[in-house]
Amino acid sequence: MITVTPAFNEVRFIERSLGTIVNQSVRPYLVVVCDNGSTDGTPDVARRFLSEVGVDYVVTRVRRFPGFGKFNINVVYHMCAVESLRHSADFVAVVEADTLLERRYFEKVIRAFNSDERLGIASGRILTVGGHEIIVDPFPLPRNYVNLPGSARVYRYECWRELNTYFDFLHLPAWDTDHTVLATLLNWRVARVEDAVAYTRPDRPF
């Protein structure tokens, strides 16, 4: 498994987030952090922590464009995809830098993949650190949308590669919803794993 993490000015949170990644019962063999021009030392904290825990990692800096506003995240995710596709894996997990995973999060989600060979994207339940569930607007798939926030997703590698081959992050205005729709159009299934839980802050930095 490869994990990718976009980050921007998360110096107070990223070490905790990365800690929940490398301490998973299914540990990733590579951790990719793409920093979007942080001014608070976030990439230095990430490098120090990852080197101390002894996991292979890539920490790369991605130029920030002030005029892009929240769409800077598309630039960061584009680089995350580029870095991850330089390697082979069975799964790619997207874990944003303000997200904490329960210890068996990957294990539980991968179990769902193992029972469905056409499952392309899966996520657990996403709660705020205060315990409130993140509810996602069902648009544009009200009948079969399964509430997959983008902050703690796992992709089957073949699905991740297919999505990022045909559709560049730079051209997806709402990448998490867009990936759900596009994966469905490419005949992949998506699912939420109810017993896997991740926690995120209610104030999203992007």
Given a contact cutoff of 8 angstroms between Cβ atoms, the answer to whether 57 and 50 are in contact is yes
Can you tell me which residue has the tokens 């068996």? 104
DSSP letter (8 states) at residue 202: S
pLDDT at 144: 53
CA-wise closest residue to 187 among 164, 165, 158: 158
Alpha carbons 12 and 63: distance in angstroms, whole number: 21
Q: What is the DSSP letter of 130?
A: T
Q: What is the pLDDT of residue 135?
A: 61
Whether 26 and 91 have beta carbons less than 8 Å apart is answered as no
Burial class (CB in 10 A: 0-12, 13-18, 19+), 194: exposed
pTM, two decimal places: 0.90
- C-beta separation of 119 from 188 below 8 A: yes
CB under 8 Å to 144, separation ≥6 — which residues? 184
Per-residue pLDDT at 53: 95
Contact assessment for residue 100 and residue 199, using Cβ atoms and an 8 Å cutoff: yes
Retrieve residue 110's tokens. Answer: 């991968």
The whole-number pLDDT of residue 9 equals 92
Task: Return the pLDDT at 206.
Answer: 38
Q: Which amino acid is at 113?
A: F
Contact 97, 7 (CB under 8 A): yes
Task: Please give the chain's pLDDT, 206 residues, in tens.
Answer: 999 999 999 999 999 999 999 999 999 999 999 999 999 999 999 999 999 999 999 999 998 888 777 778 888 899 999 999 999 999 999 999 999 999 999 999 999 999 999 999 999 998 877 767 766 555 555 555 556 778 899 999 999 999 999 998 888 888 888 999 999 999 999 999 999 999 987 554 43
pLDDT of residue 67: 78
pLDDT of residue 77: 92
